[in-house]
Amino acid sequence: MFTGIIEDFGTITKLEKENENLHLSLESSITAELKIDQSVAHNGVCLTVVKIDRNQYTVTAIKETLEKTNLSTWKVGAKINLERAMKLGARLDGHIVQGHVDQVGSCTEVKEEGGSWVFSFEYDLSQKNITIEKGSITVNGTSLTVVNSGISTFSVAIIPYTYEHTNFHTFEKGTLVNLEFDVVGKYITKMQQLR
């Protein structure tokens, strides 16, 4: 379980394919605090630490993860948003994030607004995910509030701190992102479908 508050960047140092799996090695300032078997969200994707070697650690993505996220587009040198699992009893500064990506979306516009930014995204509606105005959305693991909600589209407003301390500053039109929709909204949608 995560909160969507990004702790640090990880820089991809190595990508290694093994059958249908992809092993990703990253370097980060939080590596020394990690443990084998620990869950870490990588751009919103919950992955398990399988190896630690000095300032680098390795996680493994299986076929299912590669098919449902934008992991297959990651390259050596890319900066990835990192968040360790939430501590029980700690403040929930973002919202409840599972680290289970629902689908990949695409950035359609980046608009600078005098010190802040509005990012717009679109996604495939066939998976029946929804957003609502002032609801929560997770983009590349970052907990955000929806400011404009349309059918298969939404926008978020980004303050300078978030712009600088997440990989939002690398987004441009066409950038693929991992989306995790609000878990409460997903349950309500599912219950409506069962009626």
Is residue 179 within 8 A of residue 137, CB to CB? The reply is yes
- State pTM to two decimals: 0.89
Is residue 7 within 8 A of residue 162, CB to CB? The reply is no
What range does the domain containing 62 cover? 8-84
**Residue with the two structure tokens 């690398």:** 170
Domain edge (last residue) among 26, 54, 84: 84
* Three-point CA angle 1, 103, 76, nearest 5°: 80
Same domain, yes or no: 170 and 108: yes
**Residue 54 is inside which H or E element, if any?**
none
Domain edge (last residue) among 84, 118, 145: 84
What is the total count of domains within the chain? 2
Same domain, yes or no: 178 and 122: yes
DSSP β-bridge partners for residue 22: 17, 61
Question: Does residue 184 belong to any structural domain of this protein?
Answer: yes
Give the residue-averaged pLDDT of 65-78: 96
Does 29 score more than 80 pLDDT? yes
Same domain, yes or no: 124 and 54: no
Question: Does residue 137 belong to any structural domain of this protein?
Answer: yes
Domain edge (last residue) among 51, 84, 117: 84
Same domain, yes or no: 35 and 108: no
Question: Which pLDDT band holds residue 89 (cuts at 50, 70, 90)?
Answer: confident
Q: What one-letter code names the amino acid at 8?
A: D
Same domain, yes or no: 74 and 145: no
pLDDT per residue as tens digits for the range 72-81 = 999 999 999 9
Question: Does residue 71 belong to any structural domain of this protein?
Answer: yes
pLDDT per residue as tens digits for the range 121-174 = 999 999 889 999 999 999 999 999 999 999 999 999 999 999 999 999 999 999
The CATH number that applies at residue 166 is: 2.40.30.20
Give the pLDDT of residue 90: 75
Distance separating alpha carbons of residues 120 and 108, to the nearest angstrom:
5
Same domain, yes or no: 77 and 118: no
Question: Does residue 54 belong to any structural domain of this protein?
Answer: yes
Question: Which pLDDT band holds residue 91 (cuts at 50, 70, 90)?
Answer: confident
Same domain, yes or no: 140 and 172: yes
